[in-house]
Every structure is written in structure tokens, then in C-alpha cells.
Structure 1
């Protein structure tokens, strides 16, 4: 039924969009593609799983734990890896390579602690009731994913466009040197941005872990590839584009599985993305401009 596929696509697309928001936030403000973001996504899922299975806390506490832990990981990556490279005026390719190394370290570390096999959330952690809304069957986890994702996206949009902090971030995105001359603490905002991006990625990891009921060390790798595709589709560094690109990819995957077959899921989704980029290479909301000094 088309209405049911709409619900499935919306919930999956919301997770993609939430992941891509953190991804594009780092690119828009810091000017780099953080290839450790998939590992931070994975870390959020494992932190929540540990909180629930080892500490016995309720799910909402685990969500906060994943948010804070993944955000802290993003900030530490910026402080230990990206900040020293910025001070040395390293070319853009160097931070990308460095974050690949950080991602491998995190993936191997989690595999050493938890093993390579799938971990699952305890039964009953999320109510298994199904709600019927307008003829559509919506599970509690799908409803929670949609609500939480849109809530976090809305908060981020409000922060970016209605607060002094958001205006400062947009000024840095335009020109870090000009922002510094205006008295903006650029390094501090870089750190805060990395925290926010990591936190969004960690919550996305928890949500996809709950949605699929599978947590494993390499779960962030396919999400990383899709996140890159989403921010390119939406326009590098554009929050609106990340949201729409994530939803587009979710709908493309779910509808291709429903009407074509699961083996063609990625081929159809990325094929459509390729066709859109042929028409609009800068993405949905991107601009063909160069980043200023």
C-alpha cells in the first residue's frame, strides 16, 4: 500500500536527514568533510545500548547519553585533530585523511570492546504497539523517529536563523577571517559546531539502531556514503538541502524496494541522485561560488 510505504520512507529519510545535518554543518562552518562522522554515528548507538543494557536506564536517558557522548566525541576530534591542522594551514585534503584515520580507530576500538557481531536492544525497550492513522499503520518507533528528527531539525534551523550564535556561525561560513576581525571567537565556535554535529550524528545512530534493531562496529560506513551523497544532492553546506536530500534518499530507497526489488535499492536511489546532479551539479540549494579567505 502506497500510504504505508510513505510512512516507512519518511522514518528512514528522517534518519538520513539527521545524519546529513551534522555532516553538512561541519562542512558549512569548518569547510571540511569529516569522514569520521560515520564512526561517531556508530558510537552514539553503542553508548545508548550500553546505557540501557548495563545501567538499566530508560530510553530517554539513553538518548541524552548518546547525544552528549557523540557530541563530546565530535568536539574531541576537532580539538585533537582538526584544530592543530588549522593552525598549520593544512590543505583541505589533509583533514579528510586524518578523519579517515580517526574513524578507523573508533571502529576498531568498538570492535575490540564489543566484538564484530550484531548487538541488539532488549525486547520491550520500545513499545511494539501499532497505531492506525488515516489508514496507515505506524509503529511507535517510526513515530518517535519522525517526531524526534523533525524536532531536532527545527531547533537547528531556529538556532541558525534566529539567534546571535547562528548568525555568528553563518558569518564564519562566509569568511572565517572576516568573522575573526569582527570579534567572533572562531575557534570556540568551531568546537561548538563539532559538538553539535557529533550530537546529531549520535542520535541518528541510536535511531537507526532501534529501527533495525542491529548495532555493529561498521554500521556507520554505509551511512557515511549516503551522507556524502545527501549533502552533495542538497548543496554542500546547506541545511535545507541536507534535510530534503535525506528525505529524497529515504523515499527513493523504500519505494524502489517496494516496487522494483531490494537488490536494486541503492542502484535506483543513487541513479536518481546522479540524474538530478546532471541537471543541477551544485545540488538543490548549492551555489557555484568559492569559499572566501
Structure 2
């Protein structure tokens, strides 16, 4: 592989890894608090993509206004899902909440197919945000820089929220011991709602960035990215924010360089992520940065 080809694949890998990391952080935040895999998280990125799409093309909003509206509405939808589908089952067996999460995921996907249609739509790329950058023989979109920068900024913001604020202290208390935190005057419902606001907002930003990078949207667009971001979260140590970001970058870089070094295996690119998941679960179930958690009976 030439130096130019390496740099080209590096830019692509960093961009893809940043997308995985951004969405995986939302997964890991919800799991860290509720010990719940929120499978509807992947479909929230689809919802955000369509809101932004219609905001620009139907309501003629400036792209940045449409993006903000998409993030706000998706965050509110995430909180609504928690209140309607998860909160009533909080004291139920863990499997009941998991089934509810899967049901919400299918509901969002099929509502999208019925209301919008299954035909893919082309997501508009703002010229002021997406342009081509050429350095020597290496050419890449501005998104290869914008997406990692946005991901790092949001990671730092989430880290500040969790480690330096009052609500963040409450989040860490609830994640350690749900019952004891409630006895110590922690408003558990507020903490969980805040977690879903942040996690859903991250999914929305990830959905918009994904649509800009791969400008074809459809109601099932969140399925494979969601599975891969879940794998990234598990790889890094689900429940650990930095681990989710690390897992996202490793998975994104691994996919891109797998195709670069072994183009004959490009058809198995998606399978690569699941192979990694199997090995992680076999040899280090807690993930790279994860901690062993003792489940309460």
C-alpha cells in the first residue's frame, strides 16, 4: 500500500470510527444507568435524519436550524419512549424491558415504512458544510475532519456532564446502586430522563452526520449502524463512555483497513464486526475498558 493510499484509508477510517463512537456513546450511557440495551437507540438516528431531511426540503429551513430541530425533537422522543415503554417495566424482570426495547425498535421502523415509504431518499448536503479537500494525491470530504471534531467535542461535553456536574454525580450514583440512590434523595426519574435526553441527542447528531457521510436515508437505515455501534460499545466496555469511543474507532478503522488490505474480503465487511464481538465475548467479556459488574439477584 502506498503512502497516499494509507492516508486516504486513514481519513476514511477515522471518519467511520467517529460515527460509530458517537452513536455508541448513547448506547453505553443508557446501559450504564439502567443496565438496558436500548435497541430503539439505532432507530432514533433514522428519525433525526428524516426530520432534518423534511426540515430542509419541505419547510425550507436553513440546514443548521433543521439540524437543531432534529436533535431537539429526537431527544424529546427518546424521553417519551423511556416514560411510555421502559418506566412502567422498571421493576419487572430484565427480559421484559429488553423485549419492550425490541418492540419499540420494530415500531419505529415500521411506522417509518408506512408513513414515509421504504424507497430511499437522497439527503441534502449543504455546500457550506461539505466540500472536497485535496492534500497532494489524497482527496477526502471535509466531513472526514468535521465528524471526528464533533465527536470529540461531544465526548468532552458528556465527560464534563458526568464527572463535573450535580446531575452527573447523580448519574454515577444511580449507575452504582439504583435503590440506595433513591433512598438518598436522588430523583431517579429525573436522572434517567436526563440520560435519555443526552443519549437520544447523541443518536440524533450521529444520524445527521451519518446521512451527510452516506446521503441515502430509508426507514431501516439505523439497523446495521446500530448493531455495529452496539458492538463498539461492548468492545470498549459497555457502560464506559471512553471505552465506547475507543471501540468505535477500533471498529471503524478495522473495517476500512480490512477492505484496503484484503479487497477480496470486502463482501464480508459487516461480518468482521460480528467476528470481533464473538472474540470479545469469549476472551474479555467486560471489554477493553469495562469493569466487572456483579448483578443483584
Q: TM-score normalized by structure 2?
A: 0.92
Structure 2 distance, partners of 1:173, 1:234, is 18
Cα-to-partner distance string for 1:144-192 (whole Å, 9 max, x where unaligned): 2122121111111111112121111011000011111221101111111
What number of residue pairs does the alignment pair up?
Answer: 291
Counterpart residue number, 2:108: 106
Counterpart residue number, 1:34: 38
Gapped regions of structure 2 (runs ≥ 5): none
Counterpart residue number, 1:116: 118
Gapped regions of structure 1 (runs ≥ 5): none
Cα-to-partner distance string for 1:57-93 (whole Å, 9 max, x where unaligned): 222212212211111111000111111111xx11111
Contact 1:7 1:136 in 2 (8 A): no
Contact 2:124 2:212 in 1 (8 A): no
Q: 1:248 to 1:49 in 2, by over 3 A?
A: same
Indicate the SS of the match to 1:122: coil
Contact 1:174 1:291 in 2 (8 A): no
1:230 aligns with 2:203: no
1:53 aligns with 2:57: yes
Q: TM-score normalized by structure 1?
A: 0.93
Counterpart residue number, 1:9: 13
Counterpart residue number, 1:161: 163
Q: 1:61 to 1:124 in 2, by over 3 A?
A: closer
1:65 aligns with 2:69: yes
Structure 2 distance, partners of 1:36, 1:203, is 15
Counterpart residue number, 1:44: 48
Contact 1:126 1:140 in 2 (8 A): no
Indicate the SS of the match to 2:216: coil
Structure 1 distance, partners of 2:157, 2:125, is 31
Counterpart residue number, 1:196: 198
Contact 1:175 1:291 in 2 (8 A): no
Contact 2:125 2:215 in 1 (8 A): no
Structure 2 distance, partners of 1:48, 1:123, is 11
More displaced, 264-273 or 138-147? 264-273
Cα-to-partner distance string for 1:236-282 (whole Å, 9 max, x where unaligned): 21111100011111001111122212212123343344334443221
Counterpart residue number, 1:258: 260
Structure 2 distance, partners of 1:190, 1:128, is 36
Counterpart residue number, 1:93: 95
Structure 2 distance, partners of 1:232, 1:66, is 27
Q: State which of 267, 281, 290 in structure 2 corresponds to 1:286.
A: 290
> RMSD of the alignment, in Å?
1.8
